[in-house]
Amino acid sequence: MPTVADKAPAARERTVIDQAVAKHHGHPGELLGILEAVQSANAHKFLSMDALRYIAEETGIPPARVYSAATFFALFNLDPQGDNVICVCRGTACHTRGSRDLLEKLCLDLGLHEHEVNDSNQADKLALTTPDQKFTVRTVACFGQCALAPVVEVNHRILSHVNERTLQREVNALGQRRK
């Protein structure tokens, strides 16, 4: 009986990986390009462990190095992401201007309140997805947009000087579009 470690990615994912390997082979940043292409092609924008193993196998890069790259860069996700991704900045400027309160209210509004976001260690590395897969709430260390604090990114669009009302309006608008 095959184990989880023996599981191969689906044929479509193998094709995507094979194409990404062929495209990026021998180029600077080869592994990052492959990981980005594979994640972008995934419906839930994440890299499965099966995909990481197959990438290692096809490139000859040690599996530990592939996994290390996928976990080091915040760009990559090892868990399925929701249809909409909301990132709350936890940098110093955003924190002092209320990003923790925004994060707590957002989680409450999306029904993620059972997850503890009051512990500063957890809030700095939060990644939660709603059970219906419509929303993923993440935190980032800093967007580098301190003059615009507090900053929230919604589906790769930066929102500045965010307050609870504007964030709630954004989330409601996304919910309306998904129906």
Burial class of residue 72 in the structure, from the number of CB atoms within 10 Å of its CB (0-12 exposed, 13-18 middle, 19+ buried)? exposed
Predicted local distance difference test score (pLDDT) of residue 8: 65
Listed residue (40, 37, 36, 35) closest to 52, CA to CA: 35
Q: Does domain 84-178 have CATH number 3.40.710.10?
A: no
Q: What is the pTM of this model?
A: 0.74
Predicted local distance difference test score (pLDDT) of residue 74: 78
Q: What is the pLDDT of residues 58-78, one digit of tens each?
A: 999 999 999 999 998 878 999
User: What is the sign, positive or negative, of the torsion defined by CA atoms of 128, 79, 92, 151?
Assistant: negative
The alpha carbon of 84 is separated from its chain's Cα centroid by a whole number of angstroms, namely 10
Mean pLDDT, the chain, integer: 88
Residue 149 has pLDDT above 90, yes or no: yes
Q: What is the pLDDT of residues 104-127, one digit of tens each?
A: 999 999 999 655 454 444 445 788
